[in-house]
Structure 1
Amino acid sequence: MKGLSFQYPAWFLIFCVILGLGYALGLYYREKTFRDQAPWLTWLLGILRFLMVTIASALLLSPLLRSLQTETKKPLVILAQDNSESVAAAMTEEQQQTYRQYVEALAKSLSDEYEFKEYSFGSEVREGIDFSYGDKVTNISEVFNDIYDLYSNQNLGAVVLATDGIYNEGSNPVYSGNKLGVPVFTVALGDTTPKRDVILKRVFHNRIAYLGDKFSVQIDVSALNCSASATTLSVSKVEGNNVRRLQEIPISIDRNDFFTTQEVILDADPAGVQRFRISLSPVSNEVSTVNNTKDIFIDVLDARQKVLVLANSPHPDITALRQSLTSNENYEVEVAYIANFTDPIAEYDMVILHQLPSIGNSAEAVINEINNRKIPVLYIVGGQTDINRFNRVQSLLTIRAGGANSNEVQARVVPGFNLFTIGEAISGGIGIFPPLIAPFGDFSVGANSQALLRQRIGRIDTDYPLLVLGTDNEARAGVLAAEGIWKWRLFDYLQHQNQDIFDELLGKTIQYVGLKEDKRRFRVSMDKNIFNENEPVIFDGELYNDNYELINDPDVSMSITDEDGKEYDYVFNRINNAYTLNAGILPVGNYRFTANTVATGESLEYNGQFTVQPIQLELFESTADHRLLQLISDQFGGSLVAPNDVASLADRIAEKETVAPVIYQSVATRSVINLKWIFFLLLVLLTAEWFLRRYFGGY
């Protein structure tokens, strides 16, 4: 259907006709050029000019041509096929081939009457069906969510869901399919017959543990039709090709529907990704032992810092420091005296120098090595400290001492300190702690440092710093400008029956000073170091020049080595100013990697390790859940069919009145001035008039 409309009032056409008539009359009414010709010629030329002017002026009214377009849309039917391992486990190869033929016949039948699309699902939803049954997990709810996102605004007629009803990811599909608003037909795959089977149902554990700690593993064990049997739960550690048994727990099965939870405690040792194997011994006539074993991976982190307390001589402060730091499992504390200290300073992550350099021992070699290696250091100043040398070896605090005199000073927290947060307990309680012994003199804080505590002498609050923290020689450092902190620890216990305030103050100080910044020019990082077998392994790389600016001009290569010594070679891709590498999906196992590059003539290398763990979710449930499928079909107006009855779905779908074509109508609007034939009509009118005038001597 077509209609003509104007953007201006239609009665304006009268003016167009008047304009055309006036133009024709004015041009030909008294025209004497053609008086010797037949009268019809003048009339014809006037009519041609009248039509041309009228049509051209009518186009100025912006006429619009409206047309009604009709489109018939076939109903859309979607077949979603479960492609997970549990489906294949319940069928022989011959049954799989027969079922595939059923599905292909159904697809051919539906394609004639409907718009038909196929999807497979498991760990993800993807278009097409390959009947490989290789997915490690099943997420049925994601199928409904994806169909809704893609086709909710189209003529979706029905969904055919072919699965065994076993899902181990996502929400309950009963609550996901209701938003589709179309019938859901289900194909009941798998076997619902409970078989004699012991199952390692679930294993709960932390992914990370700290070196030297103990961690708990909770194990859920179930058994079907195994009454009056017994199994043994074993926990082993896998080290390469060796399996070392750690614990065994006998389990008696006293009923057919059996379930129990066992907890084992394991040691986090050594550092690195540790692999443990949880297994159940099989029972007689068990249908499958695949779901009797599960490997878990624990990333054991060595987060402890090795702290050296190096003193000039014995002092009660040293005991207070050691007792406070050893209460935190993240610190490994050693105490030594400068007179007989010979250990390599590089072995320590942080050093506390108590009254060093001293008047009797400059500790020059130790302090020089600390500065050269940029090891974090905390100075504690006392009566034995050589103040002049102390001022030369660090830049955080300068003390201009007035001889060998000293002051008794209490502490007060500096408002506005922002290197880390201070709790209310410290701010409100530190002011009443006993006084420490500080050198008498003037104090000045360096440019790269902040005072956390200032001195209160008697009742006078001074600006003299007591505890200073900052950066010295490109490393974290701190200065406690007084001795006697052992009194703080004892007083804290006397007041509160604990040392929480003292331990928090010292702990936060040590935590700040001991934090070592990563100054390596070449780094490779990973979001995690334990991957599932269906996840790609992705690396990010950073390379810095001598000015510590990000660059990515040099090529970066990487070699990944598995447990058998097989190497996989890669080259990083450049992205912005950094690097990235997607190594793809790797087989299950432990891997080491080495990344190499050459920058400004220097060879740089970065080493690391990661683990790819198996996904065994599909193996722990062997009984199909057809009740779930029946519930889905009943709730959404479909029906449940067996695999050998798949062909009947075409008739069942056809019986649904809601699965019908939809007629879409739309109005298309087009400007008449864009019609090509209008142009050619005007051209013909002008050409005809010109030709007649020319032929009969009008020009």
Structure 2
Amino acid sequence: MNKLTIIYITIAAITALLLALFQYLYKSKLKSNLKYILITLRSISIFGILLLLINPKFESFTYFDEKPTLVIAVDNSESVSYLKQDEKAREVVAALKGNSELNKRFNVQSYSFGKSVSTLDSLNFKERQSNLAMALKQFGEVYANQTAPIIVLSDGNQTYGSDYSYIAKGVKQPIYPIILGDSTIHSDLSIKQLNVNRYVYLKNKFPVEIIANYSGNASINTELKIWSGNTVVFRKTLQFNASKQSEIISTALLANSVGVKTYRVELVALDSEKNTVNNFKNFGVEVIDQKTNIAVVYNRLHPDLGALKKAIESNEQRSITLIKPKAYLNKINDFQLAILYQPDNSFNVVLKEIKEQKVNTFIISGATTNWNILNESQDYFKQKITNQTENYQPSLNRNYGTFIVENLDFNSFPPLKSEFGALQISVPHETLLYKTVNGITTEDILLATFEADATKHAILNGEDIWRWRAQSFLNTNGFNAFDEFINKLVQYLSSNKKRKRINIDYKSFYNGNDDVIISAQYFNKNFEFDNSASLSVVLKNKDTESVKEVPLLLNNGNYSVDLSGIDAGLYDFTVKHNLESVAASGSFQILEYNVEQQFLNADVTKLNALANNSNGEAYFTSQLELLTTNILSDNRYKTIQKSTKNIVSLIDWKYLLGLIALSLFIEWFIRKYNGLI
């Protein structure tokens, strides 16, 4: 309570007393001692009312002890069990969680991690990938405002994500790795990395680059082979010693037939090798007959052109040609799709020729688009011409059903500049993106697709799409999500396949540790998306003839199923409706490869670097008692006494109101009883 409030309360008390004295003493006919009781009651009433008007605030403090948090994070990946450290890991976790001194000193929180982090319930060491960097980053964010040392039980063999040894500087918590495994070096050959393109063209040679590693001190000879089925298509003799422990092997293989082709790289094992799993690696390529040629017709240079070229050519099945309108007229039959970028007066003949030859188009408008020519050249859509521009942000139509679209967090994308006014499409169409202005989603079209006269078309009503690609990189640390979105749109526009009631989305082959996800959309007889359908996938392994059926679940506007973890091999599948005779089929191949089985030892060097960079210390499982002692004696982890300040206003005190009412009532009763009223 400050001094000014105290002064106000003092004045209020004096004022209340003076008013009571004035009423009952000054010219009062009341002579008995009863007047002093009435003066007291009136003073209390007036003073209470004045206190409510002043409303002083009172502070109170509550003190409590806050224990630091001890985070225990356990690597639940397959590499731990492959190194035969799973039982040891369980013993260490049980010892840490059951230590009474640690529980008395810390709030113990335990987690497990593989590719993602979860609360520790049980350990099975079956996670197919491990991402220690992501786990540490999440712990750093969750416990940023606390004292929370982190104990990490891991072999240090990360298979996914950033280099974890440098993440520690951003975590700002001491990290104590408990190393699962040993540092003994055994002679070992391994295929460290294999680089190959996913798509190959028929009768072309495709490059294959292999990085072969050797750990050991002796001089050895081995042979590298590439198998196609039971045939060796490439072989090379390799020599390694203590000074030469790595070699890059490059070759080119011929694609003879269309389809998915699988190969197997082998490093002939040494007699003394303990781990021969990492001597083999499978890879696949999809051989396609020809590229889809796409023309980007433009008359104005803009960063959008480069963004479109990069995005579309990220899929090696497609080729982009940036071309002027006059040059395009001479090569119109060379392309399966025309992207018309901001058509102006120079596009007049191009638009007429496209209409006559029924070419599929993707029109991108902007600030310099001549809408008079564009409106007159076709009967499918009309833009209201205002000669004014506006910036619009995108909003995804989750009911869009022409093809499967993932939400790229479009709400975070920068606005596009386009003509102010509504775009009206007069033929049946589907809006993919709506316009958003000042956070309010309108019914105006930003991006839509439609089919008319046996042709397919899309229109994007805005320029500066290059900003979207840049924002997608900021959101996801890569361009893949945006490029995939553009490629799905291009794939739809460049294909003349008829629309089906079930659309499916999948890859032709998956590496052993990839997520195997099949997505689908189902439409009723009116081709309206049905979000209440009962869909399932029937999966058949062509090698073992085993069949299983798995339901698809509705997720973010699409039906999907996660088949990750199924055995390597060739699969046929059918996505079907359980109540109607509607289905769609496909096939894919899973290549045998387990990244978690590529390691022979714990990565002691990186785990030590992780500890040093975070002001922690690394320990082996045999040093658990030393770790416990050091943590308990570390003065950085003392219990902290904290206080909570509560500020209470007098107006919230109900008893004062009751006191005022009681004093007024007693005063009234006395006066009434004595005939003074």
Q: When the two structures are superposed, what TM-score results if normalisation uses the length of structure 2?
A: 0.64
Deviation string 1:283-342 (CA, Å, 9 cap, x unpaired) is 212212222222223334454689xxxxxxxxxxxxxxxxxxxxxx999xxxxxxxxxxx
Q: Does 1:123 align with 2:115?
A: yes
Query: Kindly tell me: are residues 200 and 55 of structure 1, through their superposed partners in 2, closer, same or farther at Cα, counting changes over 3 Å?
Result: same
CA displacement at 1:195 relative to structure 2: 1.0
Cα distance, 1:279–1:555 mapped onto 2, change above 3 Å: same
Structure-1 separation of matches of 2:156 and 2:555: 43
- Distance in 2 between the 1:267 and 1:119 partners? 48
Instruction: Label 1:642 to 1:264 Cα distance change in 2 as closer, same or farther (>3 A).
Output: same
The SS at the match of 2:515 is: coil
| Counterpart in the other structure of 1:582 | 561
- Answer yes or no: is the 8 Å Cα contact 1:73–1:155 preserved in 2: no
Letter in 1 for 2:620: A
1:40–1:298 CA distance, 2 compared to 1 (3 A): farther
CA apart distance, 1:112: 1.0
One-letter amino acid of the structure 2 residue matched with residue 519 of structure 1: K
2:178 and 2:96 mapped to 1: Cα distance? 10
Q: Secondary structure at the match of 1:658?
A: helix
Structure 1 distance, partners of 2:317, 2:71, is: 57
**Which of residues 486, 498, 517 in structure 2 aligns to 1:537?**
517
How far apart are the structure 1 equivalents of 2:534 and 2:4?
65
Match of 2:418 in 1: none
Equivalent position of 1:321 in the other structure: none
- CA deviations 1:71-130 (Å, max 9, x no partner) are 43222222222333333333366645544454445x543111122222233322333263
Q: 1:419 to 1:607 in 2, by over 3 A?
A: farther
Q: What is the alpha-carbon distance in structure 1 between the residues aligned to residue 61 and residue 69 of structure 2?
A: 25
Structure 1 residue ranges without an equivalent (≥5): 238-242, 307-328, 332-376, 380-412, 423-444, 450-470, 478-510
Pair 1:136 & 2:128 matched: yes
Mapped contact 1:545–1:551 kept (Cα < 8 A): no
Question: Secondary structure at 2:19's aligned position in 1?
Answer: helix
How far has the Cα of 1:593 moved from its partner? Answer: 2.4
- What's 1:526 paired with? 505
Query: Which residue number corresponds to residue 63 of structure 2?
Result: 70
Note closer, same or farther for the CA distance 1:269–1:674 as it changes in structure 2 (3 Å cut): farther
SS at match of 1:623: coil
Q: 1:155 aligns with which of 133, 147, 160?
A: 147
Structure 2 residue 245 is matched with structure 1 residue 258: yes
Judge conservation of contact 1:7–1:62 (CA < 8 Å) in 2.
no
**Does structure 2 conserve the Cα–Cα contact (< 8 Å) formed by 1:138 and 1:167?**
yes
SS at the partner of 1:685? helix
Closer/same/farther in 2, CA of residues 285 and 226 from structure 1, 3 Å limit: farther
Alignment partner of 1:662 out of 622, 640, 650: 640
Instruction: Give the superposition deviation at 1:646.
Output: 0.9
Question: Distance between the aligned counterparts of 1:575 and 1:168, measured in 2?
Answer: 28
Shift of 1:689: 3.7
Q: Deviations over 1:248-269 (max 9, x none)?
A: 5243434256322223433445
- Looking at structure 1, the residues matched to 156 and 250 of structure 2 have their Cα atoms a distance apart, in angstroms, of 30
Alpha-carbon distance between aligned partners in 1 of 2:166 and 2:317, rounded to the nearest angstrom: 47
Mean alpha-carbon deviation: is it higher for 116-125 or for 129-138? 129-138
TM-score w.r.t. the length of structure 1 is 0.62
Q: Number of paired residues?
A: 506
Contact 1:139 1:169 in 2 (8 A): yes
Counting only pairs closer than 5 Å after superposition, residues 71-86 of structure 1 correspond to structure 2 as: 71-86=64-79
- From the superposition, tell whether residues 673 and 249 of structure 1 become closer, same or farther in structure 2 (CA, over 3 Å): same
Asked whether the equivalents of residues 537 and 552 of structure 2 are also in contact (C-alpha less than 8 Å), the reply is yes
2:11 paired residue among 11, 14, 29: 14
Change in Cα spacing, 1:108 to 1:617, as seen in structure 2 (3 Å) is farther
CA distance in 2, matches of 1:420, 1:666: 76
Q: Secondary structure at the match of 1:276?
A: strand
Which residue matches 2:473? none
Q: Given the superposition, is the C-alpha separation of residues 527 and 668 from structure 1 closer, same or farther in structure 2, using an over 3 Å criterion?
A: farther
Residues 637-646 or 561-570, more deviating: 561-570
Aligned partner letter, 1:559: V
C-alpha distance 571-698 of structure 1, shift in aligned 2 (>3 A): farther
CA shift in 2, pair 1:271/1:560, >3 Å: farther
Structure 2: which 5+ runs fail to align? 294-315, 319-331, 335-344, 355-375, 381-450, 458-489
AA in 2 matched with 1:140: L
Amino acid at match of 1:664: K
Q: Which has the larger radius of gyration?
A: 1
Q: Using the TM superposition, give the Cα deviation of residue 565 of structure 1 relative to its aligned residue in structure 2, in angstroms.
A: 3.6
Q: Evaluate the alpha carbon distance shift between residue 245 and residue 418 of structure 1 in structure 2; reply closer, same or farther with a 3 A threshold.
A: same
2: CA distance, partners of 1:172 / 1:43: 85
Say if 2:27 is the partner of 1:26. Answer: no
Q: How does 1:102-113 map to 2 (within 5 A)?
A: 102-105=95-98, 107-113=99-105
* SS of the residue 1:539 aligns to: strand
- Distance across 1 between alignment mates of 2:238 and 2:495: 53
Does the 8 A contact of 1:24 with 1:47 survive in 2?
A: no
Post-superposition offset of 1:203: 1.5
Cα distance, 1:148 vs structure 2: 1.4
Does the residue aligned with 1:630 lie in a helix, a strand or coil? helix
Secondary structure of the 2:41 match is: helix
Match of 2:270 in 1: 283
Q: Is the 8 A contact 1:88 1:96 kept in 2?
A: no
Cα deviation digits, residues 601-630 of structure 1 (max 9, x gap): x95432223344455222223132323333
- Give the equivalent residue in structure 1 for 2:162: 171
Overall identity of the aligned pairs, in %: 21
Contact 1:206–1:298, Cα closer than 8 Å, also in 2: yes
CA shift, 1:680, in A, is: 3.2
- Which of 572, 576, 596 is 1:596 aligned to? 576
What is the aligned partner in structure 1 of residue 51 from structure 2? 58
Q: 1:631 to 1:93 in 2, by over 3 A?
A: closer
Q: Is the 8 A contact 1:6 1:62 kept in 2?
A: no
Q: 1:681 aligns with which of 659, 662, 666?
A: 659
Question: Residue 553 of structure 2 contacts residue 559 of structure 2 at CA under 8 Å; is this kept in 1?
Answer: yes
Alignment of 1:461-472 (within 5 A): none
Give, in whole Å, the separation in 2 of the partners of 1:26 and 1:129: 76
Q: Distance in 2 between matches of 1:153 and 1:693?
A: 64
Amino acid at match of 2:623: D
Matches within 5 A, 1:139-218: 139-156=131-148, 158-218=149-209
> For the residues of structure 2 that align with 1:515 and 1:628, how far apart are their CA atoms?
49
Q: How far does the alpha carbon of each residue in 1:349-399 deviate from its partner, in whole angstroms, 9 at most, with x for none? A: xxxxxxxxxxxxxxxxxxxxxxxxxxxx979xxxxxxxxxxxxxxxxxxxx
Query: Could you tell me how far apart the structure 2 residues matched to 1:414 and 1:153 are?
Result: 61
Structure 1 pair 31/419, CA: closer, same or farther in 2 (3 Å)?
A: farther
Match status 1:633 vs 2:611: yes
1:319-398 superposed matches below 5 A: none
1:123 is paired with a residue of what secondary structure?
coil
Distance 1:182 1:594, change over 3 A: closer
Deviation track 1:615-664 (CA, whole Å, cap 9, x = no partner) reads: 52222231323233333333433333221111222221233322223333
Once the 2 structures are TM-superposed, how far is the Cα of residue 150 of structure 1 from its aligned partner?
0.8
Residues 7 and 61, structure 1, Cα contact 8 Å, conserved in 2: no
* One-letter amino acid of the counterpart of residue 515, structure 2: E
Answer whether contact 2:514 2:564 (CA < 8 A) is retained: yes
Give the aligned residue type for 2:270.
V
8 Å CA contact 2:351–2:377 kept in 1: the answer is: no
> Would the aligned equivalents of 2:576 and 2:582 in 1 still touch at CA under 8 Å?
yes
Q: CA shift at 1:199, angstroms?
A: 1.5
Q: Which amino acid aligns with 1:202?
A: Q
Q: Which amino acid aligns with 1:295?
A: N
Partner residue of 2:602? 624
Counterpart position of 2:540: 561
Query: In the TM superposition, what is the alpha-carbon distance from 1:11 to its structure 2 partner?
Result: 2.8
